Amino acid sequence: MNQNWKERLRPARLECRYEFDSYEALRTFLDAAAELSERESLYPDLGFARDYVNVTIHADDGGAGIADRQRRFARLLDGLR
Per-residue pLDDT, 63: 64
Per-residue pLDDT, 62: 60
Contact (Cβ atoms closer than 8 angstroms) between residue 23 and residue 53 = no
- Domains identified in the chain and CATH numbers: 6-79 (3.30.1360.20)
3-state secondary structure of 15: strand
Entry pTM: 0.91
Which helix (H) or strand (E) segment holds residue 58: the answer is strand 52-58
Average pLDDT over residues 68-72: 96
Could you report the per-residue pLDDT of 27-41, keeping only the tens digit for each? 999 999 999 999 999
| 26: region left, alpha or beta (phi > 0 left; psi from -120 to 50 alpha) | alpha
Q: At what angle do helices 68-79 and 23-40 cross, to 10 degrees?
A: 150
Could you report the per-residue pLDDT of 17-69, keeping only the tens digit for each? 999 999 999 999 999 999 999 999 999 999 999 999 999 999 987 667 999 99
